[in-house]
Amino acid sequence: MAKMTMVQALNLALRQEMEQDEDVILLGEDVGVDGGVFRVTDGLITQFGEDRVLDTPLAESAIAGMSIGMAVYGLKPVCEIQFSGFSYQTFHQIENHAARMRWRTQGRYHVPLVLRTPYGGGVRALEHHSESRETYWAHTPGLKMVIPSGPRNARALLVSAIRDPDPIIFYEPKALYRAFREEVPEEEETMPIGKSMLVREGKDLTMISYGAMMRPTLEAASLLKDKEGVEAEVIDILTIAPLDDEIFVQSVRKTGRAMVIHEAPRSFGPGAEIITRLMEKAFYYLEVPIERVTGFDVMSPLFSRENAYIPNAQRILRAARRLTNVRNDE
C-alpha cells in the first residue's frame, strides 16, 4: 500500500472511477489544465482528455445546473466548486432540482451527481475560504452530505459517492488535504454512504465528530487516556445526512456521557441534531448534560484570529474534563 495525502487519495478515486466508467465526467473551474487549485484533479485531463475533464467558464450555478442536465441524461458528473464559500451560488440548483428531480418525476429521472468542494478553516485563507456550512445541505431532503476525515476514507467514500444514485455534497476538509498521509490500497475500496464509524473504543465518554475536527478530537482522546486514564470512545459521523444515529446512540448508552465537536457555528449545527437524537434515544442513560465544542455563531474570522474560533484539542479536552469530573457518586 502506498502512503498518500488526502489530495492524492481523492485523485486516485477519481482516476479509477473514470477508468472503469466512461459516464464519470469531471467539470469545474480550473479542474483541467491546472489540475484544480488544490491539485485534486491533477493529471486527469492528460489521461482522459477534454471530453472527460471540463474546464468550465467561471459560474458556479451553471456548473451545478449543467451537472444536473448531464446526470438526468444518465452520466455521472463530479463537479468541483473551488471553495465551499462559492457553493451558495449553486444552492438553488441543488435545492430546487438536484434534490427533487427523483421525487418530482416519480422516479423517471434521478440526479447521481457529486458536488465536491473544500470546506473549513486552518489554512490562513482569505474571506469566504474558511466556512463550514454543512447544515445548509444537510437540511435539504433528497440530498446526501458526506465529509471524510482522512486520506483512506476520503478515497473510499468518494468512490461510493460517485456510484450512489442520489445527489451528494462531498465536503473535503481542506486543512487535511496535505496534513498527513495514510496507507491507501491501490485496489478498489468503498465505504457505505449513510454509516458512521467507531474509530476508538472507550468506556468513559463518547466523542462524536467528523471531518477536520477528527484530528483534534482523537488527540484529545489520547491525552485524556495518557494524562488521566479516562477512556473516550470516538465516533466519526462521515455522512452528515442521512444521519446514522445507531452507533453513537449505542455508544452513549454505554458511556452515559457525550460531547459533539464540530467547526460549524453552534446554533442549528449538526450537533443540534445529534444531541436531539440522543435525547430521543439515550436520555435515560445520560449521567450529565451533553457538551458541545463548536465554532461560535459568528462569521469565520480572518486567519490571524481563526485559532480562537476553530475548536482545538485543548478546548475539547477541557470539555471532556467537565463531563467526566461530574459523577453521580460524588
Partner 1 sequence: MPRKEINIDDKVDYLSILDHNGELDTDLEPDIPEEILLKLYRAMVLGRKFDERLLNLQRQGRIGTFAPTSGQEAAHLGMIAVLESSDWFVPAFRELAAEIWRGRSLESYITYFNGFGEGAAIAQDSHNLPDAVPVGSQILHAVGLAWAAKYRRTDQVTMVFFGDGATSQGDFHEGLNFAGVFQVPAIFICQNNHWAISIPRSKQTRSKTIAQKALAYGIPGIQVDGNDILATYAAAKEAVDRARSGGGPTLIECVTYRLTMHTTADDPRRYRTDEEVTQWTRRDPIARFQKYLEVKGLLSEKKINDIESAVLEEIQAAVDRAEEEMKTMGDPMFIFEHAYAEMPPFLKQQREELAREIAEMKEEGSNG
Q: Which of 4, 7, 18, 68 binds partner 1 (CB under 8 A)?
A: 68
- The footprint of partner 1 on this chain (CB under 8 A) covers a number of residues equal to 47
**Whether residue 129 lies in the annotated active site:** yes
Distance separating alpha carbons of residues 246 and 87, to the nearest angstrom: 31
Kindly indicate which of the ranges 161-169, 289-297, 299-307, 315-323 contains the residues binding partner 1, using the contact rule CB under 8 A. 161-169
Contact 222, 202 (CB under 8 A): no
Q: Which of 49, 74, 185, 289 binds partner 1 (CB under 8 A)?
A: 74
Give the list of residues 6+ apart from residue 4 with CB closer than 8 angstroms, or none. Answer: 12, 151, 155, 181, 182, 183, 184
* Per-residue binder mask for partner 1 (CB under 8 A), 178-207, x = binder: ----------------x-------------
Cell of 296: 461560535
Distance separating alpha carbons of residues 305 and 298, to the nearest angstrom: 12
- Our finding on whether 54 is near partner 1 (CB under 8 A) is yes
Distance separating alpha carbons of residues 152 and 155, to the nearest angstrom: 5
Q: Which of 92, 129, 139, 262 is catalytic?
A: 129
Kindly indicate which of the ranges 56-64, 147-155, 180-188, 312-320 contains the residues binding partner 1, using the contact rule CB under 8 A. 56-64
- Our finding on whether 62 is near partner 1 (CB under 8 A) is yes
Q: Which of 33, 103, 185, 188 binds partner 1 (CB under 8 A)?
A: 103
Q: Which of 3, 92, 139, 318 binds partner 1 (CB under 8 A)?
A: 92
Distance separating alpha carbons of residues 189 and 254, to the nearest angstrom: 31
Kindly indicate which of the ranges 8-16, 219-227, 237-245, 257-265 contains the residues binding partner 1, using the contact rule CB under 8 A. 237-245
Cell of 154: 476520503
Question: Parallel, antiparallel, or unpaired: how do β-strands 232-236 and 205-209 relate?
Answer: parallel
CB of 250 vs partner 1, minimal distance in Å: 14
CB of 64 vs partner 1, minimal distance in Å: 8
- Our finding on whether 107 is near partner 1 (CB under 8 A) is yes
Binding site for partner 1 (CB under 8 A): 25, 51, 54, 56-57, 59, 61-62, 64-75, 77, 92-93, 96-97, 101-110, 141-142, 144, 164-166, 194, 242-246
Catalytically active residues, by annotation: 129
